[in-house]
Amino acid sequence: MSTSGQPPFQSRGFETSIDIARRQACQVAPVAGIKRTSTTRSPEPLKSESESSVNHVFQQRSRNIVEDIQESTTLESARASLGPLNRFHPSKIRPGPGLGAPDPEEPKDGHKGASAPGSSQNPLLSLANPKYGLPPALIANFAALGVKNIYPWQASCLLARGLLSGERHLVYTAPTGGGKSLVADVLLLKRIIENPGRKALLVLPYVALVQEKLKWMRRIIQGVERVVPDDEDQNASFPRKRWKKLQKQIRVTGFFGGSRTTATWADTDIGVCTIEKANSLINTAIEECSIGELGVVVLDELHMLDDEHRGYLLELMVTKLLLLQQDIQIVGMSATLSNTEMLAQWMNAKFFISTYRPIPIDEYLVYENSIYPAATSRQLFQTASKLTAANSASLHDSIPPQRLIDVSEYKELSNAATNSMVALAVETASAGYGALVFCSSRGACQIHAATISEAMPGLSPDETEELSKRLDLLAELRSLACGLDPVLEKTIVKGGGFHHAGMTTEERELIAQAYDQGVLRVLVATCSLAAGVNLPARRVIINGARMGRELVGPAMLRQMCGRAGRKGKDDAGETYLICIKADLEAVCDLLDADMPAIESCLAPEKRGLKRALLEAIATGLVSGGEAIKDYVRCTLLYRTLDRKLVYTIMNSALQELINEALIIFKEDESYEATLLGQAVVASAFSPEDGLFVYEELKRALQAFVMDGDMHIFYMFTPFQVAMNTPIDWPIFRDQLDRLDESGLRALQFVGVQPGFVNTMVRSGASLKENTPAQKKQARIYRRAYTAFQLRDLSNEVPLSTIATRYRIPRGTVQTLAQQCHGFAAGIVKFCQRMNWGMMAAVLDHMRDRLEAGARADLLEMAQVTFVKSWTARCLRENGFRNLRALAEADPKDLVPVLMMVNPRKTQRNQLYPTEAERYSAKLLVKAETIVASANNIWEREMQVELEE
């Protein structure tokens, strides 16, 4: 009999850890004040290489302070613990002999009258104006999200002839924060609402942007219905039966790498997707002759056309859509386009250029602790040029700075660039605003975040809630499966954080959200944040003109500066480019450089045209010589190069495809994709990658190593992740030594030689990748090394353990976990198209394991909603051994097991009865969903058995 008032746990014939726990008396002392995660100090975590240069004294002291805060029972004692964290104070910033500090109350020159007139002055600035033809529900949703009026440039753009009706394409550019997305949203939604038989694709370059836009789009379309006629007389072009199939509600689906959605082209109305997924969806629609269902395609960040790795995919999409000449509206936009008119001519589109920015931005150059104003980039360039020519002794006399930063007496701030960065960041935070600091590398992010946090001011007595929120953030991060990063633990309490690709998705989301909400005042990031996440700041500080080893380009510089000031968040914005002497000349050139013109990625050296032709032929888009020429004439390449040269490149690419047996030239002078060519396109591989996969799979058909999993893990290792993974040869040798006979045989079969690995360990050399043979060898060894990580993921090894084992960031491991799903699906499709049924079946089974992140014994349970990997293991070890047991379970019996899945969160909630009660109720709802899902799967399986 349970003494806690809970029903007895069904232990399925044996005692579980939950039964034992329920018998133990548990006393919880009442605690007033803040949420905490732990009452005991954790052992000192191992230091990562990136923190090695952070002062050791600060590390130990801040760690103890954070732990003291966790043990504190009141906010007062927590606040008292924060005092010793300030090891030094930031340098003061004072007016210089130049222009003096600007008066924040005075409007900036060039910004007078910049605010847009309201809808009462100009009715066209209201989305409710009948000219836009938007339904009331959509207008209300926009208003609820803060979009009540639009800017004059947006009105002019939308009302241009043929755009709202979907008759014309559109290419436009506007500064970051100038409202570009709203124009595309209105055009896309109007097209979908008024044409219920049509679909839309919204294409973005990064997964983070796709996820962010997915949430926005779902909020915007809540309660919005499509215009579906009641009978056939209202629209004679659509038969009555078809209208009955159309739904009034709008379905929005995300398509991106690592997504667990099972939705297809047929299941969505608006697809928010990455570039790769969008191209694949369009290929499928062309092949299945359903491309006519597509009504509008929005291409955000159109400047990605110029991207070395992915630009050709964007060009392929546009080229295919232009050739089809269907009723499909194409909308392309970017903040960094220089040749907008030429791109519009290529797409036969209306082009629109706006320079309006609702929030004024002031730009500054920081050099040797001096701040120089630059209202325009040209003035900034002139200032930098004078600084280069000036003698340091007479620098201030010849070019008086607007403000001066005192030289610091602290050793940690002896570097002028670091001193300036800390002073500017802390000044912003002290004023209650957000500062975004960009620096060159992941390691630098962590070091600079720690340095800034040492100088951050303490919280005042009226900021109790802010401290509580920071401690809550620490608790959330600590409750993640990967645990709390030790450097983040030191910085968050003082209001600072960092953000880079080496962090997990969950960490990045929590940090970004905290910064956006003002919980964190300073965020230090790599330049990837500038393009990947929409986070505005009052002040953007660019610490050095280099990102990694390379000088940042004009487009990326504009992206970073564009984060300063955002409508609804700030009424002003500032950017500070901190420059060192060695880079000053390069900065001069950078600031004076024009935005580079967008060029085609189908040029011979980039080999994009070869893939373009293969896709067009394999999907049946073109076959004859003239049709292929028409297709090539639709490319951006045709617009930018001499026509004869383009046709020469085309003929050369066709001949290569014939030589590689990807296409054949028929007697009727048409081209046709071979089975191999079709398989390459179906799997979304490039011709080069497809041929490599073909050779490896063909060999595997002859002697696949079936008595172990290593061969399959190698086959499923994505090329892109593997080629970006540095090999630690001693670790490689160690993992080889631990392999069983089957695993070693599998790797030797694909070309890995233990002797070569030993040689690399002894010599300390790196792989050579100059000749084709060396490149092939490097690909094999990099994939084999990455396959070890993939093996660990599928065997339920914690992500943080894998990161430690291979000395790589946790975010890198998570990227592998996300990308391997899409790559594995491509491999399976390849086998299916090649009619290798047995191979496809074997690989498909392992793909399920990758999807679940679990061993084979949990695959059945891992199909259930909310049950993945660790949750499935906990359920199995606590009595629910199979799908049937889960389907027959009482949801209340699952709640204690679900609490075990996240013990840190459960432990924290034990301190707060009210919160613990809410948490239990939330888990009960989750448990009910799990049982319902298990029932559906179980009934479906039983039905299949009966039919058989």
Q: DSSP assignment of 685-736, as one string?
A: --HHHHHHHHHHHHHHHHS---SSSHHHHHHTS-HHHHHT----HHHHHHHH
**What are the start-end ranges of the H helices in 703-854?**
710-715, 719-723, 729-738, 741-750, 754-763, 772-794, 799-806, 810-833, 837-852
Residue 70 reports pLDDT greater than 60: no
Q: What percent of the chain has pLDDT over 70?
A: 76
Residue 63 reports pLDDT greater than 50: no
Contacts 24+ apart (CB under 8 A), 416-420: 416/368, 416/369, 416/580, 417/366, 417/543, 417/544, 417/578, 417/579, 417/580, 418/448, 418/451, 418/543, 419/91, 419/369, 420/366, 420/369, 420/371, 420/576, 420/578
Under the banding of pLDDT at 50, 70 and 90, the label for residue 50 is very low
**379-393, 537-551, 832-846: range with lowest mean pLDDT:** 379-393
Q: Which domains does the chain have, with CATH numbers?
A: 1-30+857-948 (no CATH), 131-353 (3.40.50.300), 361-592 (3.40.50.300), 604-673 (1.10.10), 682-853 (1.10.3380.20)
* Chain segment 556-584, per-residue pLDDT in tens: 888 888 888 877 677 788 999 998 877 87
The radius of gyration of the chain from alpha carbons, rounded to an integer in Å, stands at 30
**59-73, 153-167, 412-426, 489-503: range with lowest mean pLDDT:** 59-73
The number of angstroms, rounded, from the C-alpha of 115 to the middle of its chain's C-alpha atoms is 33
- What's the mean pLDDT in 819-840? 87
- What's the mean pLDDT in 887-912? 69
Q: Which residues of 566-588 are buried (b: 16+ CB within 10 A; e: fewer)?
A: bbebbebbbbbbbbbeebbeebb
Q: What pLDDT is attached to residue 691?
A: 94
- Both structure tokens of 563: 């984060």
Element (DSSP H or E) covering residue 296: strand 294-299
Q: Give residues with Cβ within 8 angstroms of 267, minimum separation 6.
A: 251, 253
* Chain segment 718-775, per-residue pLDDT in tens: 888 888 888 999 999 999 999 999 999 999 999 999 999 999 999 988 888 889 889 8
Is there a contact between 590 and 561 (Cβ–Cβ < 8 Å)? no
Q: What pLDDT is attached to residue 812?
A: 87
CA distance readout (Å), 821 to 219, 512, 681, 828, 866: 28, 26, 17, 11, 18
Is there a contact between 600 and 635 (Cβ–Cβ < 8 Å)? yes
- In angstroms, rounded to a whole number, what is the distance separating the alpha carbons of residues 247 and 233? 18
* Chain segment 220-230, per-residue pLDDT in tens: 999 898 877 66
Residue 838 reports pLDDT greater than 60: yes
Using alpha carbons, select from 335, 305, 333, 347 the residue that is nearest to residue 157. Answer: 333
Q: What is the pTM assigned to this prediction?
A: 0.76
Is there a contact between 492 and 473 (Cβ–Cβ < 8 Å)? yes
Is there a contact between 78 and 34 (Cβ–Cβ < 8 Å)? yes
Residue 73 reports pLDDT greater than 70: no
* Chain segment 614-625, per-residue pLDDT in tens: 999 999 999 999
- What's the mean pLDDT in 894-923? 67
Q: What pLDDT is attached to residue 787?
A: 93
Identify residue 117 by its one-letter amino acid code. P
- In angstroms, rounded to a whole number, what is the distance separating the alpha carbons of residues 272 and 883? 33
The alpha carbon dihedral of 882, 886, 889, 894 has a sign of positive
Q: Which residues of 807-840 are buried (b: 16+ CB within 10 A; e: fewer)?
A: ebbbbbbbbbbbbbbbbbbbbbbbbbbbebeebb
**Among 263-272, 734-743, 921-930, which range has the highest average pLDDT?**
734-743
- What's the mean pLDDT in 655-671? 93
Residue 694 reports pLDDT greater than 90: yes
Residue spans of beta strands (DSSP E) within 580-662: none
Q: How many CB atoms lie within 10 A of CB 481?
A: 15
- What's the mean pLDDT in 295-319? 89
Using alpha carbons, select from 431, 638, 423 the residue that is nearest to residue 518. Answer: 431
- Both structure tokens of 621: 């888009």
Identify residue 417 by its one-letter amino acid code. A
